[in-house]
Structures are given as structure tokens and as C-alpha cells.
């Protein structure tokens, strides 16, 4: 850097950059770094304006600021120093930006915000199924109700309307809760990204969540299970095999979809389930029928999925085939009004647990086999054991 040079205006000095320049042709010269020096409160103070083009454009502009601050000190009207002036300008700029963002958020509609949130959700959700479910709930139930409204105009009453409309169509409390959670997440995202400064209308306590009672008691008898497997075998070997695996190991569909051959130990009749719903690994154990089925499917490629989705290169299924639901609807779900009594794929896991309880298996063993994090989740099957005890007492009277 060069030595300090007195500027043409008193109170200013500058030094020139060795390589950087400003201007063109005859006006081209080295870039200057300006500093002001003045007396204030019995002290000599030096403050830097910085390089031309950063905070100021030229010497004349620096001098105008110098005179402005000098007059402020004379009149005892802040700001008195360049530092104070810069801090005030930053505050003013921040307030202006916040005001602009506030004005923009007032005009930003829920449907616009959801489009941005969905991009975020696709990039950050653990599974494709999660963001697809959010998109479905928004498209069918949330946006038709208040999607065109600005975020600032949406109040809890709008969410009560969404809740009531969904309930009127017979949707479960769980689905309604999910929809309200999606709205809450949209607003949280908008607040986090600085696109909305108001209160989240879906925050806790703002809308009364419907109480959820989706505890399913339906499970298959031995005869029903055999009949179901036989019917599936006629339609699809793959769907039959997935159902068989869930029925006799208690595996969730997601665990079956992610299962790889490397996780199966035929010698020990052992399957290691990794990264399950509880976040932990857990073992499952093969019955003879399960082992035979898996051995027949095995083709020697350890890193491949046991049930890869068709048409994709070793990608997992997102959901069980519609063929399964067509079969169980005809066999079990016709004329059943309460969805808690419907047979679905998860019913196979319920059946596995229920059969264990019927066989007097220790409830703690059942908990471990299901991979439940809390015994309360497993105790839903305790009524099955109670029914068995009740039947045993009733037999006393008959005997």
C-alpha cells in the first residue's frame, strides 16, 4: 500500500491501492482508501470510509458525510461519528427489509407458500411417501379451502373448516391430524425463512385436534390367513411372499420393502431388520415356510433387495400392490363400515402378535419381536389373552 496523501478537502486523507484502479482512459487512477480525522471531546479521532465503491463512491461524497457529522456534533444532534452513522443506517436498512418482507408475506398466498414448502419437503423428508402424502392432503383438503388466501389472512377458523370438512367425508382422526400438521409445518417453514412474521394459526392450542382412536382389533384366524395366502398365490407370487413374511415374522411393509439378502442368515434362521421405525435394528426369525419361500427366491446377489420394485434398478416398493387390497376387500372388508375393523397389510403384523399372545407368549417377548419402543404399544394385544382366560373360566361351568 502507498503512503497517506492529503485530500483536496480538509480533514480527509487517502492512500492508493497498488494494483486496483478506477475510471477509464485519462480519468483512470489508483483506487483510493479514505479516512477522516477530526477533534471530538478533547480527542483526535480517525475513522475510515473504506475503499471507493464499497461505502462511498468518491472524495466529494466522503466530504459531504464529513461535513454532515461535523454539523451534528456542533448541534449536539446524533449521530456524531461515522461508526454511529453506519450503525443507524444498518438499523434503518434492516427495518426497511423487515417491512418489505412483511408486505410481501401479506400478499403471499398459502398455495404459493406450499409450492415452496413442497420443494423443501422433497429435499429433507426421510421418504418419498411422506412428501407425497403431504401433497395429497394439501391438494385435496387444505388448498381448496383456503389456498388462495394470503398467509396473513388465515386464522384458526379456516383450519376448523378444514377439520370439519374432512370429518364429514368420513376421514379418520389421524388423517385430520396429519392435515393440520402439514399446515403447521408450512407456516413454520415460512417463519423460519423470513417470509412470514405473524402467528402460526395451526400452532399448539390454536385448533382443537380431534381425538384419535384408531386402535385396530382386527386380526386373522388361522383359517382366514390360509385362505388369504391361497388367494394371493393365485394372483401374484410376490405379493403372496410379502404377505407370508409379514404374517409369520411381524415385519412392517416398510421393513419388507427395504430388506436385502445380506440381512438374511439361512444357517441361523435369522433376519436382521435395520433402521426400523423405532430407529433401532432388531432381529426377526424365520419359520420353516418363510425360510423355504426365501430360499426359493434367492438368486445369490447379496446386496440386492429381496423384493425390488418392478421397472426400477433395485429400488424398494413405495407401497403394497393394489392387488392385495382388491383381494382383502372382496374377502373381508365388504359391508364393514368401521375402518378399524378392515383388513389391510398391517393386519398381518397384528395377526402375528395376536397369535403369539394366544399361545401364551410372554408379553415382553412379544414387545421385542414387534420392535416396540414402549410396552404400552404391545399391551393393545392383552385383550386377546384376557378372552382366552374368560373362555377357560366359562369351560368350568360347562364341565
Whether residue 361 is predicted with pLDDT greater than 70 in this model: the reply is: yes
Sign of CA dihedral 138, 140, 145, 149: positive
Q: Where is average pLDDT lowest: 31-35, 106-110, 308-312, 383-387? A: 383-387
pLDDT at 225: 95
**CA–CA separation, 39 vs 127, rounded Å?**
66
Which position has the higher pLDDT, 167 or 229? Answer: 229
Which CATH entry fits the domain spanning 110-192: 1.10.150, 1.10.3860, 3.30.300, 2.30.30?
1.10.150
Virtual CA dihedral for 234, 236, 240, 242, nearest 10 degrees?
A: 180
pLDDT at 284: 95
Which position has the higher pLDDT, 11 or 275? Answer: 11
Whether residue 259 is predicted with pLDDT greater than 90 in this model: the reply is: yes
**CA–CA separation, 72 vs 309, rounded Å?**
75
pLDDT at 255: 93
Whether residue 106 is predicted with pLDDT greater than 70 in this model: the reply is: no
pLDDT band at 218 (very low <50, low <70, confident <90, very high): confident
Q: Where is average pLDDT lowest: 36-45, 125-134, 226-235, 308-317? A: 125-134
pLDDT at 197: 81
Whether residue 51 is predicted with pLDDT greater than 90 in this model: the reply is: yes
Which position has the higher pLDDT, 350 or 100? Answer: 350
Rg of the chain over CA atoms, in angstroms?
35
**CA–CA separation, 258 vs 261, rounded Å?**
10
pLDDT at 101: 64
Q: Give the pTM.
A: 0.52
pLDDT at 53: 87
Residues of each domain in the chain carrying CATH 1.10.443.10: 222-393
DSSP 20: E
Buried-state track 237-249, b at ≥16 Cβ within 10 A, e below 16: ebbbbbbbbbbbb
Whether residue 214 is predicted with pLDDT greater than 60 in this model: the reply is: no
Whether residue 36 is predicted with pLDDT greater than 90 in this model: the reply is: yes
**CA–CA separation, 172 vs 166, rounded Å?**
8
Whether residue 217 is predicted with pLDDT greater than 90 in this model: the reply is: no
238-246: average pLDDT: 97
Give the strand order in the sheet containing 29-39.
Answer: 5-6, 12-22, 29-39, 44-51
pLDDT at 392: 66
pLDDT band at 226 (very low <50, low <70, confident <90, very high): very high
Give the strand order in the sheet containing 264-265.
Answer: 264-265, 270-273, 282-285
Whether residue 378 is predicted with pLDDT greater than 60 in this model: the reply is: yes
Please give the backbone phi and psi of residue 264, each rounded to the nearest 5 degrees, phi first.
-110, 130
Q: What is the CATH number of domain 222-393?
A: 1.10.443.10
Task: Write out pLDDT tens, residues 194-204.
Answer: 888 888 999 87
Whether residue 104 is predicted with pLDDT greater than 70 in this model: the reply is: no
**CA–CA separation, 340 vs 219, rounded Å?**
11
Q: Where is average pLDDT lowest: 46-55, 72-81, 217-226, 336-345? A: 336-345
pLDDT at 294: 96
12-39: average pLDDT: 91
Which position has the higher pLDDT, 105 or 44? Answer: 44
Whether residue 213 is predicted with pLDDT greater than 60 in this model: the reply is: no
326-342: average pLDDT: 88
Whether residue 63 is predicted with pLDDT greater than 70 in this model: the reply is: yes
pLDDT band at 216 (very low <50, low <70, confident <90, very high): low
357-384: average pLDDT: 82
Residues of each domain in the chain carrying CATH 1.10.150: 110-192
- The mean pLDDT of the chain is 87
Which position has the higher pLDDT, 288 or 277? Answer: 288
Amino acid at each position: 500500500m502507498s503512503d497517506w496523501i492529503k485530500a483536496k478537502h480538509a480533514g480527509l486523507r487517502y492512500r492508493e491501492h497498488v494494483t486496483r484502479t478506477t475510471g477509464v482512459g485519462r480519468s483512470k487512477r489508483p483506487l483510493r482508501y479514505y479516512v477522516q480525522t477530526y477533534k471530538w471531546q478533547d480527542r483526535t479521532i480517525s475513522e475510515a470510509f473504506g475503499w471507493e465503491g464499497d461505502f462511498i463512491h468518491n472524495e466529494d461524497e466522503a466530504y459531504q458525510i464529513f461535513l454532515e457529522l461535523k454539523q451534528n456534533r456542533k448541534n449536539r444532534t446524533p449521530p456524531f461519528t461515522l461508526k454511529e452513522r453506519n450503525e443507524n443506517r444498518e438499523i434503518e436498512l434492516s427495518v426497511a427489509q423487515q417491512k418489505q418482507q412483511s408486505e410481501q408475506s401479506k400478499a403471499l398466498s398459502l398455495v404459493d407458500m406450499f409450492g415452496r414448502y413442497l420443494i423443501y419437503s422433497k429435499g429433507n423428508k426421510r421418504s418419498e411417501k411422506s412428501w407425497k402424502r403431504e401433497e395429497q392432503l394439501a391438494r385435496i383438503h387444505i388448498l381448496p379451502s383456503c389456498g388462495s388466501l394470503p398467509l396473513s389472512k388465515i386464522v384458526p377458523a379456516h383450519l376448523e373448516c378444514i377439520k370439519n370438512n374432512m370429518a364429514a367425508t368420513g376421514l379418520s382422526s389421524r388423517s385430520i391430524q396429519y392435515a393440520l400438521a402439514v399446515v403447521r409445518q408450512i407456516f413454520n417453514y415460512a417463519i423460519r425463512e423470513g417470509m412470514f412474521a405473524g402467528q402460526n394459526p395451526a400452532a399448539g392450542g390454536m385448533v382443537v385436534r380431534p381425538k384419535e382412536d384408531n386402535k385396530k382389533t382386527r386380526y386373522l384366524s388361522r383359517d382366514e390367513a390360509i385362505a388369504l395366502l391361497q388367494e394371493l398365490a393365485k394372483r401374484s407370487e410376490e405379493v403372496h411372499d410379502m404377505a407370508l413374511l409379514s404374517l409369520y415374522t411381524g415385519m412392517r411393509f416398510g421393513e419388507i420393502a427395504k430388506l436385502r439378502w445380506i440381512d438374511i442368515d439361512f444357517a441361523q434362521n435369522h433376519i436382521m431388520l435395520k433402521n426400523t421405525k423405532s430407529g433401532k435394528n432388531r432381529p426377526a426369525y424365520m419359520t420353516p415356510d418363510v425360510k423355504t419361500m426365501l430360499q426359493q427366491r434367492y438368486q445369490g446377489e447379496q446386496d440386492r433387495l429381496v423384493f425390488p420394485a418392478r421397472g426400477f434398478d433395485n429400488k424398494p416398493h413405495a407401497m403394497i400392490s393394489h392387488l392385495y387390497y382388491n383381494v382383502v376387500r372382496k374377502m373381508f372388508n365388504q359391508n364393514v363400515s368401521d375402518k378399524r375393523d378392515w383388513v389391510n397389510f398391517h393386519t398381518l403384523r397384528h395377526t402375528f402378535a395376536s397369535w403369539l399372545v394366544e399361545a401364551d407368549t410372554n408379553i415382553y417377548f412379544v414387545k421385542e419381536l414387534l420392535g416396540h419402543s414402549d410396552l404400552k404399544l404391545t399391551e393393545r394385544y392383552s385383550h386377546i389373552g384376557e378372552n382366552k382366560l374368560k373362555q377357560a373360566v366359562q369351560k368350568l361351568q360347562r364341565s
